């Protein structure tokens, strides 16, 4: 039920777009993207529930793969306050209510 996330680190210029990927060999009933800042808990950005679902939240867009084993998160026109660690987290089909988190992508946005 491991969720592999890439890239692990991402450093971009303000205004650039970026994409973070998440994939697994396991099927998830839902998949969520979180952002975590230092000293804080993860904050939910986008939640995906259906295969192929494409959802936007402002400058953020995420899609749940057709097989429900993968997802991507795209951030457009990045700004310095986008910095943080981005996690994908899936609810495995066979494991009830728990979330399985990826390893995280640490984002730096240079002004």
Tokens standing for 57? 């939240």
Tokens standing for 8? 């692990």
d(CA 57, CA 38): 22
Least distance to another protein from the beta carbon of 10, Å?
15
In the complex with another protein, the residue whose CB is nearer, 43 or 51, is: 43
Least distance to another protein from the beta carbon of 48, Å?
11
Residues that bind another protein (CB under 8 A): 3, 30, 32, 34, 39-44, 47, 49, 87, 89, 96-104
Least distance to another protein from the beta carbon of 21, Å?
15
Return the closest-CA partner of residue 44 out of 94, 87, 98, 107.
87
């Amino acid at each position: 039920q491991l969720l592999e996330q890439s890239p692990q680190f991402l450093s971009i210029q303000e205004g650039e777009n970026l994409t973070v990927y998440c994939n697994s060999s396991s099927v998830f009933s839902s998949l969520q993207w979180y952002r975590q800042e230092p000293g804080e808990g993860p904050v939910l950005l986008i939640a995906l529930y259906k295969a192929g679902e494409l959802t936007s939240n402002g400058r953020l867009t995420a899609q749940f793969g057709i097989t429900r084993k993968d997802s991507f998160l795209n951030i457009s026109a990045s700004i310095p306050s986008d910095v943080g660690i981005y996690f994908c987290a899936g609810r495995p089909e066979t494991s009830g209510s728990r979330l399985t988190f990826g390893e995280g992508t640490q984002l730096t946005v240079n002004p």
